[in-house]
């Protein structure tokens, strides 16, 4: 299967292992615990001598099926799924960092991730927030106790793109773990392993599942990092190939501690959703780029944030790194226009806080998801009171164009 295409491999990956009755999907295994013929079998699973299932908090066959798909999409060595994207991010960091360590993070982050990093600071982990669109800012922040660098791929809502290739080289030089949140790019647009990220997290709740009907998160070990030199690995996680020590610790220790387990039902829903990831992303990215162009030409729009725009500061970087420019964009409507009125005129796009749904979703960000941080912090992130984020879906382009341009012109 290795030389087959992305979608082909996802569609047929379940059948790489024998499935009962010739079923095309791996079944949903709801059992929490697993019974053994002889007690030696249970002891062997506990001691890691044989692979197997004991208790579903840490291992479940339906979750494993989804993990296998993610691993093949990321061309990694192993993956773990979680109940949400936040569960993935928090479990990874709690498993691999300890008090006294230093983390360098992009300051262009999904807001809830910033909130979690602030929590880590309360527990004695130092965090530096830097402008990661410039790798030099990351290099300047490195300290003797730095362990990890964290960036997203495309920032939300203003679509900043971290200098990931240069950051990856820096991390390799300095022996740092590079963790990338690739939610907005999905495994179809970008493979973080290609820039030297050793761990990749996704919120599966977004475009990965695509249908807005199941929460989930994941982490993948890409195999590029030598964990034998990493100081925070517990002895009991040091078995086998050192490239797997980090992810072993996240499963054995992290998932045990946080219990942030994905349900098998949600794992199945997400595995179905991702079968069409490439098709959906191509359509959504195409819709987004065409809408961005239409907005840029509209007199009521001051600025369009989308990596497809030639004046986007990281347009060339996006072109080099990604297969497409993504489906998320923001627009700054001219001041003096009430953006609420414009949004309220939309009939099709849903007023909603989510992103990466098949349906187009809109939200004014200053009054909602970025309300709590205050005006000063919003200004630093280029957010105005008239910034509207649009998560572009897979509707027919003409309908989206009519909706948005109609809503602007009616003012």
Residue with tokens 């187009």: 360
Which positions lie near ligand PLP, rule CB under 6 A? 84-86, 110, 113, 152, 156, 181, 183-184, 203, 205-206, 215, 217
* Nearer Cβ to ligand PLP (85/246): 85
* Nearer Cβ to ligand PLP (76/216): 216
What is the spatial order of strands in the sheet that 328-333 belongs to?
Answer: 301-305, 328-333, 387-391, 361-364, 350-351
Helix and strand element counts for the chain (H, E): 16, 12
* Nearer Cβ to ligand PLP (244/268): 268
Structure tokens at 287: 């819709």
**Closest distance to ligand PLP from the beta carbon of 352 (Å):** 13
Q: How far is CA 349 from the centre of its chain?
A: 23
Which residues, other chains included, contact 370 with Cβ-Cβ below 8 Å and sequence gap of 6+? Answer: 111, 157, 377, 378, 381, 383
Would you say the C-alpha torsion 203, 221, 66, 162 has a positive or negative sign?
A: positive
Cα–Cα distance measured from residue 183 to residue 173, given in angstroms and rounded to the nearest whole number: 26
Which residues, listed in sequence order, are joined to residue 330 by a DSSP beta bridge?
305, 389
Cα–Cα distance measured from residue 288 to residue 128, given in angstroms and rounded to the nearest whole number: 33
**Closest distance to ligand PLP from the beta carbon of 330 (Å):** 14
**Closest distance to ligand PLP from the beta carbon of 6 (Å):** 21
Which residues, other chains included, contact 253 with Cβ-Cβ below 8 Å and sequence gap of 6+? Answer: 95, 234, 237
* Nearer Cβ to ligand PLP (166/328): 328
List Cα–Cα distances, 75 to 9, 123, 225, 239, in angstroms: 12, 34, 14, 22
Which residues, other chains included, contact 217 with Cβ-Cβ below 8 Å and sequence gap of 6+? Answer: 81, 82, 83, 84, 85, 86, 87, 88, 89, 201, 202, 203, 204, 205, 260, 262
**Closest distance to ligand PLP from the beta carbon of 202 (Å):** 8
**Closest distance to ligand PLP from the beta carbon of 181 (Å):** 5
* Nearer Cβ to ligand PLP (212/364): 212
Q: How far is CA 204 from the centre of its chain?
A: 7
Cα–Cα distance measured from residue 8 to residue 282, given in angstroms and rounded to the nearest whole number: 16
* Nearer Cβ to ligand PLP (105/183): 183
* Nearer Cβ to ligand PLP (74/181): 181
Cα–Cα distance measured from residue 221 to residue 233, given in angstroms and rounded to the nearest whole number: 15
Which residues, other chains included, contact 42 with Cβ-Cβ below 8 Å and sequence gap of 6+? Answer: 36, 54
* Nearer Cβ to ligand PLP (127/184): 184
**Closest distance to ligand PLP from the beta carbon of 152 (Å):** 5
* Nearer Cβ to ligand PLP (243/366): 366
**Closest distance to ligand PLP from the beta carbon of 208 (Å):** 10
Residue with tokens 């996802």: 10
Residue pair 126/142 in contact (Cβ under 8 Å)? The answer is no
* Nearer Cβ to ligand PLP (160/248): 160
**Closest distance to ligand PLP from the beta carbon of 83 (Å):** 8
Cα–Cα distance measured from residue 282 to residue 111, given in angstroms and rounded to the nearest whole number: 27
**Closest distance to ligand PLP from the beta carbon of 305 (Å):** 15
**Closest distance to ligand PLP from the beta carbon of 227 (Å):** 24
């Amino acid at each position: 299967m290795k030389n087959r295409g992305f979608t082909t491999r996802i569609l047929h990956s379940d059948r790489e292992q024998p499935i009962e009755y010739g079923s095309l999907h791996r079944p949903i295994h709801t059992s929490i615990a697993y019974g053994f013929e002889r007690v030696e079998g249970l002891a062997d699973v506990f001691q890691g001598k044989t692979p197997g299932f004991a208790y579903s908090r840490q291992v479940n066959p339906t979750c494993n099926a989804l993990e296998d798909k993610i691993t093949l999409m990321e061309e990694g060595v192993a993956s773990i799924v979680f109940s949400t994207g936040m569960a993935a991010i928090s479990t990874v960091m709690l498993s691999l960092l300890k008090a006294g360590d230093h983390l360098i993070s992009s300051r262009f982050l999904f807001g809830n991730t910033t909130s979690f990093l602030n929590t880590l600071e309360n527990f004695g982990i130092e965090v530096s927030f830097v402008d990661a669109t410039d790798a030099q800012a990351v290099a300047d922040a490195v300290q003797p106790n730095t362990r990890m660098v964290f960036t997203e791929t495309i920032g939300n809502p203003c679509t900043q793109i971290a200098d990931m290739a240069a950051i990856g080289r820096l991390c390799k030089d300095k022996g740092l773990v590079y963790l990338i949140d690739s939610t907005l790019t999905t495994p179809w647009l970008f493979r973080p392993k290609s820039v030297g990220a050793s761990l990749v997290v996704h919120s599966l709740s977004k475009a990965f599942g695509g249908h807005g009907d199941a929460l989930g998160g994941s982490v993948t070990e890409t195999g590029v990092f030598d964990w034998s030199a990493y100081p925070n690995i517990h002895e009991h996680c040091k078995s086998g190939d050192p490239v797997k020590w980090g992810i072993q610790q996240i499963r054995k220790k992290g998932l045990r501690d946080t219990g942030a387990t994905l349900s098998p039902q949600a794992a199945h829903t997400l595995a179905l959703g991702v079968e069409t990831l490439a098709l959906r992303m191509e359509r959504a990215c195409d819709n987004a780029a065409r809408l961005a162009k239409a907005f840029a030409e509209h007199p009521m729009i001051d600025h369009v944030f989308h990596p497809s725009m030639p004046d986007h500061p990281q347009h060339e970087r996006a072109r080099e790194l990604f297969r497409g420019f993504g489906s998320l964009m923001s627009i700054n409507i001219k001041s003096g226009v009430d953006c609420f009125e414009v949004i309220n005129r939309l009939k099709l796009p849903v007023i909603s806080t989510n992103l990466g749904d098949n349906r187009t979703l809109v939200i004014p960000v200053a009054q909602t998801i970025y309300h709590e941080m205050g005006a000063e912090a919003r200004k630093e992130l280029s957010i105005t009171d008239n910034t509207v984020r649009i998560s572009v879906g897979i509707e027919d382009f003409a309908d989206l164009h009519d909706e948005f341009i109609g809503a602007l012109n009616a003012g």
